Amino acid sequence: MTKIKICGLRRTEDILYANEFKPDYIGFVFASDRKRYITPEAALKLKSILNPDIKSVGVFVNESPDTVKKIARSGVMDCIQLHGDESEEYIKDLKNAFPEKPVIKAFRVESEESIKTALNSSADYILFDNGIGGTGRAFDWSLIKNADRPFFLAGGLTADNIGEAIKKYRPFAVDISSGVESGSVKDRNKIKIFIDAVKNSSL
């Protein structure tokens, strides 16, 4: 079964939707220049009402390692996601500091060469996206046809195209944010439809 991550949760309602429909992961965006940014303090309050079966992911973009570690120690996240230009040394440092928190490294898919770089990452999981930061547009999925390790697929996913993505490329997980929003906030009905589509496509 393809796993599901809903990213960019900011409100109590968002957590209640997650608890109702049970994606495998939810994401808190800790990059202050992004529109779905949430403070670590606010995220910790939301985490306290999140179903413990759902893993929380802290999303960072070129943040200092010390800041990431400080937030990780608070217990707000079960996984660490890196969406910037973080180096191999950066990744390995976090893995050593928090062996219990898987590291997900996002890569912008532009060519076969960018796929090779991603496949060689020391991160626990890699994430393929069309760009850095929630543009809501898909990339050329054919570039990942030979990916030989578990990956998250993000960028431009919808309930309409997720079936094709899963059946052709078999991602470990799919990651969606703007595709389940209306007016820049999470939409309960869109979340339900998307999760149902993923489950039906994974049968």
What residue ranges define each of the domains in the chain, with the CATH number in brackets?
3-201 (3.20.20.70)
**Average pLDDT of the chain?**
94
In the prediction, which pLDDT does 136 show?
59
Which of 7, 14, 78, 175 is the catalytic position?
A: 7
Partners of residue 106 on adjacent β-strands? 127
In the prediction, which pLDDT does 132 show?
52
User: CA 92: distance to chain centroid?
Assistant: 19
In the prediction, which pLDDT does 77 show?
98
Active site residue 129: yes
Which of 14, 78, 79, 129 is the catalytic position?
A: 129
In the prediction, which pLDDT does 32 show?
94
* Number of Cα atoms under 13 Å in the Cβ half of residue 170: 7
Q: How far apart are CA 73 and CA 154, in angstroms?
A: 27
pLDDT digits (tens, 9 = 90+) for 27-71: 999 999 999 999 999 999 999 999 999 999 999 999 999 999 999
In the prediction, which pLDDT does 145 show?
86
- Residuewise pLDDT in 10s, the chain (203 residues): 999 999 999 999 999 999 999 999 999 999 999 999 999 999 999 999 999 999 999 999 999 999 999 999 999 999 999 999 999 999 999 999 999 999 999 999 888 888 999 999 999 999 999 865 555 567 888 888 888 899 999 988 999 999 999 999 999 999 999 999 999 999 999 999 999 999 999 76
Cβ atoms 181, 157 nearer than 8 A? no
In the prediction, which pLDDT does 141 show?
86
Is this structure's pTM higher than 0.85? Answer: yes
